[in-house]
Structure 1
Amino acid sequence: MGMVRTIKTKIIVMNEGEHVQIEPYGKHIVRVRVSADEIQDLDWTLLPKEESEATIKKEGTDTIMVNGNLLVKVTGQGHISFWNQKGELLCSELWRMERDTPARILRGKTGGLFHLEQHFCTRAGEHFFGLGQEAHDLFDLKGATLDLCQQNTKSTIPFVLSSKGYGFVWNNPAIGRVEFGTSETRWVAEAARQIDYLVIVGDNPGEIENRYCRLTGFAPEFPEWATGLWQSKLRYETQEELLSVAKEYEKRGIPLSMIVCDYFHWPQQGDWKFDKAYWPDPAAMVKELTEMGIHLLVSIWPTVDPRSENYFEMREQNMLIRAERGPGALVYCRGAETYYDSTNPSAREFVWKKVKEHYYSLGIQNFWLDEAEPEIGPYDYDNLRYWIGNGMEVSSLYPFYYAKTFYDGQKSEGQNEILNLIRCAFLGSQRFGVVLWSGDICADFDSLRRQIKTGLHVAVSGIPWWTTDIGGFHGGDPDSEEYRECMIRWFQFGAFCPVFRMHGFRDKKDRPVSPPVTMDGFCYSGGANELWSYGEEAYSIMEHYVMIRERLRPYISRQFRIASEEGIPVMKPLFFDFQEEICYEIFDQYLFGPDIMVCPVYENGMRERRVYLPAGESWIDAATGKEYGGGGWITVEAPLDKIPLFLRRGTNLKPEIFN
């Protein structure tokens, strides 16, 4: 039996080999930490706690904490459960007394680390959403076992929203897993110092998201200029090629917000500068693009090649991720590479100094932070030595500090509108002005379907700025009729994603224009990926959706402002506004802001689809202007040039915007 006592507004449970601390962490939020000895202040990426007016009382042998609308009950044995103000159980620890199995497990390892497990009871009819992004084709996470780690196409953001009215934060960057089982929910860390989690209560998903963002940070205000189309392909090889594409868009009257200079524009990985042979005057390029109203996004990789001019200085000053065992090469990509250690403040300052000298001073203010997991091969996290610890304990922090490297640097230069594209994220990444994209995904209809679910999980996870490679990344033949249809459907979906961005490594690869005497010459540019690359029919449809997006930009900017002020995502699952049971199952419809319901088409040859209209509202078909009552299913036409869209009755948006 544990000893339960209180210290001011904290509840302390002491058992042999276990120290539990339960405390308010802002109104309606409670934090629980469990250690084998003293509780440690490892806040990782959490913001400082806000004040609350929590109270503690005794009811028989139970100790009760009331913090706003959240009630925590601790039994005389030290067992913990969480309730709302209505007296409804939210979640509770799972103690298997018949097997003498505790809910909290700490198994000692070397170096002060532990294998940790936290077990909770399952709830009938409970649904889970969030946890970052992964193309696992799941909407409701109930029943899934998912790894907690960072990899290409996978961003672990350990926050989930429960349909039972609470949010759960696993405040731990260690490698592990979560099991949303039918018999229990179990959170596992393979090498960490203490169990650390927070429970957030709210009357609806919006309240929970707002309180979650108060813990981890709100995204800054999204630049209005960036709400239009972004143009990218695998890589433009030269300054001349990139400018010619921008000029062609201008000639055709198709507005661009951004054009991208992707990877291997540098002499060596880790030089962080342009190769002058192919990019002779970047400052003039920036000036010419600016005159066309187009911003430039430039790719940065965190990889460092031993042939780089910066390698030996960084190695000597311990600015690189090291291998605990064996050679220091962590990935092979046109050479044996390691990575700068983003968890090291000195390394962050060094990298920004180089970026400032070779990019920022030329007028480039937006960066593509690629390889952000970091991508290593194989993913042996225990073989990584970071400035702040072994990879098994801290690996998930890398993308957070990678984004912070640039955000802090840009802020120090007085930049207010900060927007950087990144391939991975963690708790709190949103406060650094990052657009998360879903990584190097496949180019087919199956992948498109998965992206709808992925985007909705990211929205729930607190990242309001999200995008996908329109058309997918790997493959896609512009001459294939099936792929052209996939591109059209993906482009329609992309027009109603928070960030509207073309990208991909298309088939029919071009021969490189550069001779194979520099790193640049060994990397193909990929096939054409501009709007006019897919035939006249596709071009006409895509051009039409660019113009729809242009007309919606004031509406989209308003939604981004709401996201930065309140934490309400731009792209929302139906259940966010409509807590009908069926809305926890529908993954292929979502709300884009409060007034537009988007119903993507994600199967080849599909020309009609079923749509559920949530109850309590009337809905207007944007294609026909016909009004429908909510609370049932309808079937609507979906010709190739139309994505089904419905407007909430009473909106200021008119059907003609979409036609």
Structure 2
Amino acid sequence: MQIKALLLLFLISCSTTQAQKSYAKTEFGLKAEVDSLVIELQFYSSKNVRVLKSKKGFDFDKNSLSVIAKPQNTNFKISESEVSTVVLSSDDLRVSLDLVSGAISFQDLQENLLLKEKIEGSHLDPKMDVNEPSFRVKQEFQLDKDEFIYGLGQFQEGKMSQRNQQLFMRQDNKETVVPIIQSTKGYGVFWDNYAPTTFFDDLTVTSFDSEVGELIDYYFMYGENADGVVKQIRMLTGNAPMIPYWTFGYWQSKERYESQEETEGVVQKYRNLGVPIDGIIQDWQYWGDNYHWNGMTFGNPTFPNPEKLTKAIHDLNAHIIISVWASFGPETAPFKILKDRNMLLDFTTYPQRAVNYWPAKPDDPLAGVKVYDAYNPEARDIYWEHLNEGIFSKGIDGWWLDSTEPDHLDIKDKDFDTQTHLGSFRKVRNAFPLMTVGGVYEHQRATTSDKRVFILTRSAFAGQQRYAANSWSGDVVSNWKTLEKQISAGLNFVSTGIPYWNSDIGGFFAWEYPGGIKNPSFQELYVRWLQYGAFTPMMRSHGTTTPREIYKLGKRGDWNFDAVEKFINLRYRLLPYIYSESWQVTSNASTLMRPLFMDFSQDKKALDLNDEYMFGKSILVAPVTEAMYTKGNNDSSATFDNTGSRKLYLPASTDWFDFWTGEKFTGGQEIEKQVPVDIMPLYVKAGSIIPFGPKVQYANEKLGPIEIRIYPGADAHYTYYDDERDNYNYEDGSYTTIEFTWDDSKNKLTVGKREGNFEGLPEAIEFNILKVTDKNSSGIYPKTATTKLLYKGKSKVLKID
């Protein structure tokens, strides 16, 4: 008996020794073999590690489409434990590899468990992808039962936390795939695979399961908090550049303006009314019929002189962007060139039929439209060559890249066998928006630095923030439930590190509301959606079947007109705050539209709220997402003189000021706010400094005076930022910052020395400083400013009573 026990111990010892020797240190981490798996760990920073798991004997050469960073020489050490585990330790992270099972776990330096793979949770099941040997790729993790996770892109599920669900992740009109999650434990995971993928989570397992791939490939990113995770995401996949100042103003759009006179006329009517506007969008069919789909020329006779159109818009101190697609009709010049070079993808896309109405009839002739191979750099060159010559040269200010997922009709499995420049369409399906949007951005940057790139896109993938892309939520239906779902959809999207997002104000399809814009039930929905839209990164009104222009709602003095004008003006007053926050997005990896877990991770009541968020780090937004004045979808008897109310939660650990009244509340409680139709609940965190701009008709009309509002109750700090607003000189240091610091106990505000300079910076700025109380705050236009300062760049300390 004793001999058998000794023999068993000897065998275990040999097995352990063998396991411990089955790895080797590499330049950036280590490489090990466990059974049939080759496992490699690579540090990209002390907080960021790449995990690769491949089949022994299977060669691969994967260059990530999303990750532009390279592994870095990181200070790390390797140690072994007595249980056949090798530990890779950096200055911030411990990564443990079980040399028997191949499972990996991640800990902080205090050995607190952050995330672990499930034992036997790595799956590489051989399969043929067309004629190429490949694998179905799956990795299973085990999360804490009370852990919250966010991200994955944009899905219309109405959920904030992404626990306890299954999502099939393939790019679609209203669903945007970004396979990144981040946790309330301060880490993130990027699943670097571009094939259709199923995400699954319950109390026992969390997994990514991709239809095809060469290997398991993911990045573990330790940020310690949500902003830190976003910083790690952008370190890997690219920084978000500054977008033009004017893009943060108000945008008007419609499916579609049918002539250049109509497009110009919309801007002129806003100017005549004195309602601010900065952007107008020209939708499709300016090219003519569907055989000339997306021809990148103004082939429609109602647009005879595009240069005259853009000049007229610019003379009105506004800007214009235009709809461009990822597909071409058979009579266009790009189609013929791309077809000749085998650079078109063979599946059915929109528009399927040649007619210019929707929906088409089954017997209408086929249009022959095809999507181009955006994975091919030569195809992207051809795309830009025609875009530049046919449209950009006419003075267009930016791009509405529609159907960038792209539209894929009558989906068949064989469609995914279609060969792209990078292999089967199946293999790279979800990365299409990254490639086509990136092609436009990179080519415009190479063409000129005098005009910042701005791209509005219907789809996105990991890393797209580096391409000045502002995503929108697709062709959503106009109703209250959809409005509510936009909030969590957008918040989860920005949790993946892509900061700019919006939705069609009012919803795209208004077919549930007879009479459209004249229907009071639709008007109530539209007003509430616009209030929400004023606190998203892009404030853009758009839809089909009914117009959305403010003068179609009514006239000044009508409840609906006045409510819309009020929030457009509020948006413009907030432009200095928004632009300064956008500088934090670029310079410090911040996020403008912020889920509550980003700033209140210790407040469990705030972690799964799907109807509130922070706009910047100071303003709490609680959109109204239910009808309070109309009943049903066609209530002509509605009156708007009564007052509804909305319950909301104020996160703990701080006090809050009602933006509209100045009333102060203690955090950590639910309150009920009365919400007449021209009020959306807004609360400002105590210890905030917010710059407000003057009343203007367009973003760049005038610089000041700037109103500085102090919300007391805690010390505060704010960085005010400005630059030339529509070029890339800021990348070379042409910008200025001013640091504002509030000492709450002494009622003192320090206005710091102005740092930096840029062309056009005025010698002096007038600051009107207001310490907010319930006596002097009246929302958009407060009653008094307690202190005036003509600031000429020198530091100043002010006593604020």
What value does the CA root-mean-square deviation take over the aligned residues? Answer: 1.7
Please list, as runs of the form range in 1=range in 2, the aligned pairs for 1:280-295 lying within 5 A after superposition: 280-295=304-319
SS of structure 1 residue aligned to 2:344: coil
**Residue 304 of structure 2 is aligned to residue 269 of structure 1:** no
Match in the other structure for 2:648 = 611
Maintained 8 Å contact 1:331/1:338? no
Maintained 8 Å contact 2:118/2:140? yes
**Which of 476, 495, 504 is the matching residue for 2:534?**
495
Q: Distance in 2 between matches of 1:358 and 1:307?
A: 15
TM-aligned CA deviation for residue 50 of structure 1: 5.2
**Residue 466 of structure 2 is aligned to residue 431 of structure 1:** yes
TM-aligned CA deviation for residue 556 of structure 1: 0.3
Match in the other structure for 1:82 = 106
Please list, as runs of the form range in 1=range in 2, the aligned pairs for 1:169-318 lying within 5 A after superposition: 169-267=190-288, 268-318=292-342
Deviations 1:346-386 (A, max 9, x none): 11111111111111111113010001011111234524321
**Which of 593, 614, 625 is the matching residue for 1:571?**
593
Please list, as runs of the form range in 1=range in 2, the aligned pairs for 1:245-644 lying within 5 A after superposition: 245-267=266-288, 268-323=292-347, 332-334=352-354, 335-380=367-412, 382-415=416-449, 416-475=451-510, 476=513, 477-506=516-545, 527-535=546-554, 536-579=558-601, 580-605=603-628, 607-644=644-681
SS of structure 1 residue aligned to 2:45: coil
Task: Name structure 1 gaps, 5 residues minimum.
Answer: 96-101, 507-526
> More displaced, 104-113 or 16-25?
16-25
SS of structure 1 residue aligned to 2:562: helix
Match in the other structure for 1:108 = 126
Question: 2:85 corresponds to which letter in structure 1?
Answer: D
SS of structure 2 residue aligned to 1:19: strand
Match in the other structure for 1:22 = 41
SS of structure 2 residue aligned to 1:243: helix
Q: Distance in 1 between matches of 2:475 and 2:294?
A: 22
Q: Distance in 2 between matches of 1:182 and 1:249?
A: 54
Maintained 8 Å contact 1:153/1:441? yes
Q: Distance in 2 between matches of 1:553 and 1:329?
A: 39
Maintained 8 Å contact 1:221/1:564? yes
CA distance 1:532–1:86, change in 2 (3 Å): farther
TM-aligned CA deviation for residue 39 of structure 1: 5.3
Maintained 8 Å contact 1:322/1:386? no
Deviations 1:100-130 (A, max 9, x none): xx21111111212101111112321011111
Question: 1:591 corresponds to which letter in structure 2?
Answer: M
Match in the other structure for 2:88 = 65
Deviations 1:145-184 (A, max 9, x none): 1122111011101111111221010011111111022220
TM-aligned CA deviation for residue 44 of structure 1: 2.2
Maintained 8 Å contact 2:86/2:96? yes
TM-score normalised by structure 2 residue count:
0.77
Maintained 8 Å contact 2:506/2:541? yes
CA distance 1:570–1:636, change in 2 (3 Å): same
Deviations 1:69-110 (A, max 9, x none): 221111231321111122211111112xxxxxx211111112
TM-aligned CA deviation for residue 657 of structure 1: 4.8
Q: Which has the larger radius of gyration?
A: 2
TM-aligned CA deviation for residue 333 of structure 1: 4.6
**Which of 119, 126, 134 is the matching residue for 2:140?**
119
Q: Distance in 1 between matches of 2:508 and 2:353?
A: 18
Q: Distance in 1 between matches of 2:349 and 2:595?
A: 42
**Which of 55, 66, 74 is the matching residue for 2:77?**
55
Question: 2:677 corresponds to which letter in structure 1?
Answer: L
TM-aligned CA deviation for residue 461 of structure 1: 1.2
Question: 1:421 corresponds to which letter in structure 2?
Answer: L
Question: 1:297 corresponds to which letter in structure 2?
Answer: I
Question: 1:20 corresponds to which letter in structure 2?
Answer: I
Question: 2:504 corresponds to which letter in structure 1?
Answer: D
Task: Name structure 2 gaps, 5 residues minimum.
Answer: 1-14, 355-366, 630-643, 691-708, 710-776, 782-801
SS of structure 2 residue aligned to 1:484: helix
Structure number with the bigger relative contact order (C-alpha 8 A, sep ≥ 6) is: 1
Q: Distance in 2 between matches of 1:85 and 1:105?
A: 29
Maintained 8 Å contact 1:127/1:142? yes
SS of structure 1 residue aligned to 2:296: coil
**Residue 122 of structure 2 is aligned to residue 91 of structure 1:** no
TM-aligned CA deviation for residue 651 of structure 1: 2.0
Maintained 8 Å contact 2:459/2:472? yes
Question: 2:500 corresponds to which letter in structure 1?
Answer: W
Aligned length: 629
> More displaced, 72-81 or 210-219?
72-81
Q: Distance in 1 between matches of 2:48 and 2:416?
A: 33
Maintained 8 Å contact 1:232/1:502? yes
CA distance 1:333–1:470, change in 2 (3 Å): farther
Maintained 8 Å contact 1:166/1:199? yes
Maintained 8 Å contact 1:551/1:657? no
TM-aligned CA deviation for residue 13 of structure 1: 2.5
Name the % identity. Answer: 28
SS of structure 2 residue aligned to 1:94: strand
Deviations 1:283-319 (A, max 9, x none): 0111111111111111101212223343232111122
Q: Distance in 2 between matches of 1:16 and 1:172?
A: 24
CA distance 1:191–1:496, change in 2 (3 Å): same
SS of structure 2 residue aligned to 1:273: coil
Deviations 1:594-614 (A, max 9, x none): 111001100011721122111
Question: 1:184 corresponds to which letter in structure 2?
Answer: V
Q: Distance in 2 between matches of 1:329 and 1:453?
A: 29
Maintained 8 Å contact 1:46/1:215? yes
SS of structure 1 residue aligned to 2:432: helix
TM-aligned CA deviation for residue 425 of structure 1: 0.5
Maintained 8 Å contact 1:331/1:377? no
